Amino acid sequence: MVKTDETLNMLKELTDARAIPGNEKEARDVMSKFISPYADEVYTDNLGSLIAKKVGQENGPKIMVAGHLDEVGFMVTRIDDKGFIYFQTVGGWWNQVMLAQRVTLLTRKGDVTGIIGSKPPHILTPDARKKPVEIKDMFIDIGASSKEEAEEFGVKPGDSVVPYFEFTQMNNEKLLLAKAWDNRIGCAIAIEVLKQLKDQQHPNVVYGVGTVQEEVGLRGAKTSTNTIQPDIGFAVDVGIAGDTPGISDKDADSKIGEGPQIILYDASMVSHKGLRDYVLDTADEKKIPYQYATIAAGGTDSGSIHLTANGVPALSITIATRYIHTHAAILHRDDFENAVKLIVEVIKGLDKDKVNHITFN
């Protein structure tokens, strides 16, 4: 049973929204609903990224806090004569987490429930049981008996296919299980940062951003950052939790509940040293817990943010999360709250002199 509180309700609505790359409207509408009360202006760029502007001091440094709206999912590519649906992955998937999972097809006629089909073990050879099914051979069963019936249901090539999962507060109430933590938790952080700055004095203009198409190449971060032209950029996202069986410290050593992750390096960028040092100094001063992390085989929106115009000092602050890029993942509410606290304190301490010092040192 989910406790009724404003933050949990926001997190539930954000994660329940269905929004794969290129079709982020549901998540954008939810983010807009929750962030608008704390913003002076809310608008979108031409690719669909949401930008919420909050002025602390006119002409102050522009600080961007960006989470991405999209989640990994699938797209319908064809319907066979028997009514089975074939698809393209949109974002990164590991084939072993996909079979027999429930999905929702978003059609113009409404939602269609499906399941990614699998063979029963009784008819598999011993060798076949050991081999993962290739994604290109997978299909979705929507209960149609023919191509014509599937089309009558409203299914067409290009339709979004989204993992189905219900938001769940676990027995340890700080642990939250949901689909699409990657990256609705980043959107939630951007919302909560603007909320906590609502009555705070600070010498900046803050932009809470929900970017589009991060999972297919950090695309919305390019357009939204070009629109804003920030002086400082933060990407807020999920990171890898290394606290489950089978993951060694060499792969990932972060633990859920031990603070937000400060990303030193990922495949899309090297974190800006001046900004990183300032954030770490702020965390130490305010006694906010944090962890260091690297992501050698993945990137975040900072990869696009820092390359905008003549360069933007940028840093990724992430939430250690178990089981990302699957139907459901687990994170710790304390990490979310400490990430918000850290970014709010960082923003309160920034001004033109501090930004100049960060940029040129």
Catalytic amino acids? 214
CA-to-CA distance for 306 and 22, rounded, in angstroms? 23
Distance between first and last Cα of the chain: 50
CA-to-CA distance for 268 and 218, rounded, in angstroms? 9
CA-to-CA distance for 136 and 144, rounded, in angstroms? 20
How many other CB atoms are there within 10 angstroms of residue 26's CB atom?
A: 18
Chain-centre distance of CA 174, in angstroms?
Answer: 19
Spatial CA neighbour of 347 closest among 361, 336, 358, 332: 358
